[in-house]
Amino acid sequence: MFTPAGVALLSGALLMIGAFGVIARRNLIIVLMSVEIMLAAGTLALAGFARMHGGERGTHGQVLVLLVMAVAAAEAAVGLAILMALYRQLRSVDSDRADRMRG
Amino acid sequence: MQDALFLLTSAVAIGTAVYVVTARNPVYAAIGLMGFFLSISGLYVLLDAAFLAAVQVIVYVGAILVLFLFVIMLLDLRAIRREPGDRSPGVIVLTGLLVALTGGLAFVPVVRGIPAGKTFAPVAPGFGSTESVALVAFTRYALPVELAGLLLLAAIVGAVALAKRRFAGEETE
C-alpha cells in the first residue's frame, strides 16, 4: 500500500474531494478551504515522487514543495482579502449572491 | 508497519477533507481543515520529508488556518448560517460523478506511468533533513527562493490594500 502508486492515488482522491468542494459549495470560505485541500494534494504527490527518486533528485522535489507552500500561503492571504472586500459590499459570503456583473 | 501507518494517516486525511467540503458551519470546517493539514504533515514524515512536515505545520496550521479563523470571526456568522443551504441534491450528485469521472480518467496514466512494482527504495539517512533541503534551495534554487519572498511581499501589500477598512473621506457603503 505504501508505494508511489498508493501515494499518487491518495493525492488524486484528495484532489477530487477538494475539486468537489470548490464546485459544489456556495459558501466562499469553504471554497477557499477546498482550494487549499487541492494544493496540499498536489504537494503530497510531489513529495511522494521526490521520495521515490531519492538522493539529489528527490531533494530538488522537496525544494519545489517548499516553493509551492509559499505560493499557497500567498494565495490564501489574497483570496481571504478578496473575500473580506466582497463581504463588505454584499454582507454575505454566498457565491450566488455575487452576481452584479451578470446580464 | 509503514503500510498500516500510511493507511491510517490516509484515512484521516480523506475523512477530514470530506468533512471540510460537507460541513455546514465554517468554524467546524476550519477545525477539520486543521486535522487535514496535520494528517498531510504525518504523510510527509512517512515520506522521509521531515523538514517539509515541520514547515507544513508552521505555515499551514500556524498561519493559513489562523488567517481563515480570523476572517471567519470578522464575518457575521448568524447572518451566514441563515442563508439557504447549498445546491440541490441533483446538482451535488452530478458534480460528484463528474469530478470522480474526470479525476479517475486523469489519474489512470499517472498510476500507469509509475514503473511496475516500483517501491520506496531505502534512502540516505540525511534525506529530507533541513540541511539537505537548504543546501539545494539556497544554491541551485536561490533565485526562485528570492522570487518567492517577493511574491509574499506582493501578497501582503495586496491583501492589506484589498481588506483595509475605508475611512471617513471615502464613500462606497
Question: Which residue out of A22, A28, A30, A96 would a mutagenesis test of the B interface target, given it has the greatest number of B Cβ atoms within 10 Å?
Answer: A30
Closest residue, chain B, to A84 (C-alpha): B163
SS3 A36: helix
Which of these, A24, A30, A12, lies nearest to B80 by C-alpha position? Answer: A30
Q: Which residues of A touch B136 (CB under 8 A)?
A: 56, 59-60, 62-63
A65/B49 Cβ within 8 A:
yes
Which of these, A44, A38, A49, A45, lies nearest to A75 by C-alpha position? Answer: A38
SS3 B170: coil
* Tens-level pLDDT at each residue, chain A (103 residues): 888 888 988 999 999 999 999 998 888 999 999 999 999 999 999 999 999 987 888 999 999 999 999 999 999 999 999 999 998 888 888 888 888 888 7
Q: Which residues of A touch B83 (CB under 8 A)?
A: 26, 92, 94
Q: Which residues of A touch B102 (CB under 8 A)?
A: 19
Q: In the structure, what pLDDT confidence band is assigned to residue B79 with cuts at 50, 70 and 90?
A: low
Q: Which residues of B touch A72 (CB under 8 A)?
A: 60, 64
Q: What is the DSSP letter of B102?
A: H
Over its C-alpha atoms, chain B yields an Rg (Å, rounded) of: 21
Residues 6+ apart with CB under 8 A from B69: B27, B30
Rounded distance, CA A48 to CA A71, Å?
19
A93/B49 Cβ within 8 A:
no
SS3 A94: strand
Q: Could you report the per-residue pLDDT of A84-93, keeping only the tens digit for each?
A: 999 888 888 8
The pLDDT of residue B173 is above 50: no
The pLDDT of residue B114 is above 80: no
Rounded distance, CA B88 to CA B109, Å?
33
Return the pLDDT at B74.
85
Q: Could you report the per-residue pLDDT of B27-63, keeping only the tens digit for each?
A: 999 999 999 999 999 999 999 999 999 999 999 999 9
Phi then psi for residue B138, to 5 deg, are -95, 0
Half-sphere exposure of B3 (CA within 13 A, CB side): 4
Average pLDDT over residues B78-104: 77
Is residue A11 within 8 A of residue A42, CB to CB? The reply is yes
Judge if ipTM > 0.90: yes
Which of these, A53, A15, A20, A60, lies nearest to B40 by C-alpha position? Answer: A15
